[in-house]
């Protein structure tokens, strides 16, 4: 586990670091930003597939908003707040109040629902300095946060769709998971019948999930949020350690506090339900988990160091740079080692630096328009046509495969 520590790997691979000029706020270096953006684009594609709309809201709000949302009374100690022109303002610790303002900006018909607002907003929470720990406990972070404004009769379909999206993402990342239903706590707010209806809808969704996926779910009695029941998702990494990142929560109270409504078919106004949901949770925490899960050996689609081209001698540098250009044009993170070192030393350095593929080129490869392929695990794949290697690596990256397509033993 110590060898997998994300703080150690982050330093070794030049991914990210922290500095005392801003405790709990990560500096992502270029290599780390590539991983960050890879996860972000992955989620954005799923948002497109599942009908979400991206929105952008402010980072700083007048405390009137936090009084309306209830954060002023229940969460102020975890917020950064300050005076501007003798008025109190606060940096947002979560996106939901801003999304309520967005929803309330105009009137809505029942036909418009569900509305799915997604935002990769920068959030700040005032964690105690002693509690800060690498990327797992930070003050500044970004969530794949989304809020679905829907009718009560749409809860089941929306949570079902959420679980389908969640499964696609976590299966792609190679993470195992368990689901649990957390029900009405003692200090709940709202009507008992609303809670009963919502818990019944979530139970139905989870039973369907159990049938389809052959995975059991558990019950956490009286462990729901005060504003609504939720499905808690526990994630396990390669070492079997558990984390909580993803969640889906129903909220009956925030729509009431913000006086949100939609017009029903009979012309009467009705209060919508908000479905709070996240899949990655915070990207910072997920990158910490994945760094340790993969032990720094990133799959090609997430890797910040995908291809290294190694010319055998100075005579092959121009050909090597041409190979680099060909891979760069196909949007690979590719580098060329033109240092005056032996080929063996350059290959070893590339493997230590976790480049997925090392392409060695010399006079023979230049004549044949080929590359000699090695992997970071020192598997020698031999001489291959450039077009063939490009095709194989494009497939491995674009299909987001966890296993390398080159250098693997054929499956029986």
pLDDT for 278-304, tens place per residue? 999 899 999 999 999 999 999 999 999
Q: How far apart are CA 364 and CA 383, in angstroms?
A: 10
Mean pLDDT in the chain? Answer: 92
- 182 C-beta neighbours (distance < 10 Å), count: 22
Catalytic residue among 26, 96, 150, 336: 96
Catalytic residue among 145, 232, 237, 337: 145
143 is catalytic: yes
Q: How far apart are CA 308 and CA 320, in angstroms?
A: 10
Residue 139 has pLDDT above 60, yes or no: yes
- 400 C-beta neighbours (distance < 10 Å), count: 15
Write the pLDDT tens digit of every residue in 328-347.
Answer: 999 999 999 999 999 999 99
Q: Taking residues 173-201, what's their average pLDDT?
A: 87
Q: How far apart are CA 220 and CA 231, in angstroms?
A: 9
pLDDT for the residue numbered 342: 94
140 is catalytic: no
Write the pLDDT tens digit of every residue in 250-267.
Answer: 888 899 999 999 999 999
Catalytic residue among 184, 230, 285, 293: 230
Entry pTM? 0.93
Q: Taking residues 144-152, what's their average pLDDT?
A: 95
Write the pLDDT tens digit of every residue in 29-41.
Answer: 999 999 999 999 9
Q: How far apart are CA 43 and CA 118, in angstroms?
A: 10
Residue 409 has pLDDT above 60, yes or no: no
pLDDT for the residue numbered 410: 44
412 pLDDT band (50/70/90 cuts)?
very low
Catalytic residue among 147, 184, 285, 305: 147
| Tokens found for residue 124 | 């700040």
147 is catalytic: yes
276 is catalytic: yes
Q: How far apart are CA 146 and CA 229, in angstroms?
A: 17
Strand ranges inside 237-345, DSSP E:
242-251, 262-263, 269-270, 273-282, 307-311, 334-336
Q: Taking residues 109-113, what's their average pLDDT?
A: 97
Catalytic residue among 143, 249, 354, 366: 143
| 146 SS3 class | strand
| Tokens found for residue 193 | 């019948």
pLDDT for the residue numbered 339: 93
Catalytic residue among 116, 139, 276, 346: 276
| 177, burial (CB in 10 Å: exposed 0-12, middle 13-18, buried 19+) | middle
């Amino acid at each position: 586990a110590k060898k997998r520590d994300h703080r150690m790997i982050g330093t070794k691979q030049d991914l990210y670091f922290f500095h005392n000029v801003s405790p709990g706020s990560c500096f992502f270096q270029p290599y780390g930003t590539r991983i960050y953006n890879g996860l972000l684009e992955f989620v954005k594609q799923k948002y497109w597939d599942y009908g979400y709309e991206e929105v952008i809201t402010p980072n700083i709000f007048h405390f009137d908003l936090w009084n309306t949302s209830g954060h002023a009374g229940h969460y102020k100690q975890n917020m950064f707040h300050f005076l501007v022109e003798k008025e109190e303002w606060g940096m947002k610790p979560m996106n939901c109040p801003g999304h309520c303002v967005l929803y309330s900006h105009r009137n809505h018909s029942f036909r418009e629902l569900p509305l799915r607002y997604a935002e990769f907003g920068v959030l700040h929470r005032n964690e105690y300095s002693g509690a800060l720990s690498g990327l797992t406990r930070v003050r500044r972070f970004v969530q794949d946060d989304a809020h679905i404004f829907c009718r009560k009769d749409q809860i089941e379909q929306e949570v079902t769709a959420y679980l389908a999206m969640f499964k696609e993402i976590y299966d792609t990342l190679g993470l195992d998971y368990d689901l649990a239903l957390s029900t009405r706590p003692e200090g709940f707010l709202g009507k008992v019948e609303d809670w009963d209806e919502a818990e019944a809808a979530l139970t139905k969704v989870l039973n369907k999930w159990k049938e389809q996926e052959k995975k059991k779910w558990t019950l956490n009695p009286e462990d729901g949020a005060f504003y609504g029941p939720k499905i808690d998702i526990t994630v396990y990494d390669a070492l079997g350690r558990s984390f909580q990142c993803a969640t889906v929560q129903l909220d009956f109270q925030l729509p009431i506090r913000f006086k949100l409504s939609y017009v029903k078919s009979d012309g009467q106004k009705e209060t919508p339900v908000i479905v709070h949901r996240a899949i990655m949770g915070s990207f910072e925490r997920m990158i910490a988990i994945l760094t340790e899960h993969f032990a720094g050996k990133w799959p090609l689609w997430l890797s910040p160091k995908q291809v290294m081209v190694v010319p055998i001698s100075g005579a092959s540098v121009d050909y090597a740079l041409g190979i680099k250009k060909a891979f760069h044009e196909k949007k690979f993170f590719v580098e060329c080692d033109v240092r005056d070192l032996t080929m063996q030393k350059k290959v070893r350095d590339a493997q230590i630096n976790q480049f997925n593929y090392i392409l060695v080129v010399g006079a023979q490869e230049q004549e044949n328009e080929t590359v000699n392929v090695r992997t970071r695990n020192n598997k020698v794949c031999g001489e291959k046509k450039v077009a063939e290697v490009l095709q194989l690596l494009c497939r491995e990256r674009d299909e987001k495969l966890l296993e390398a397509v080159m250098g693997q033993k054929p499956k029986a």
